[in-house]
Amino acid sequence: METRVAVIGIIVENPTAIPRLNEILTEYGDYIVGRMGIPYRKRNINIISLAVDAPQNVISALSGKVGRLDGITAKTAYSNCIYTEEI
């Protein structure tokens, strides 16, 4: 299986979407290497950075599901390295 490392930047402007966001992140938990959340109180938003190691289609699916939530924006930056692992 080929995987890539990526960072998904998430900005949460709608706090009511947070429970669904957490459900999605739990669903993809096996691929998440780390997560950092910053509450930016001055602007009343939350900034989340996810480090993931997964097949490219999984990363795209995760980012897409998150980005389709109302009031949430997600952008992904991929590493250029592709890793091959035995299943």
Give me the average pLDDT of each 10-residue run along the chain (87 residues): 96 97 97 97 97 97 98 97 78
Q: What is the pLDDT of residue 5?
A: 97
> What CATH class is the domain 2-81?
alpha beta
Task: Please name which of 81, 8, 2 lies closest in space to residue 47, comparing C-alpha atoms.
Answer: 8
- CA 17/CA 27 separation, integer angstroms: 16
- CA 56/CA 37 separation, integer angstroms: 23
Q: What is the pLDDT of residue 86?
A: 63
Q: How long a stretch of residues is the chain?
A: 87
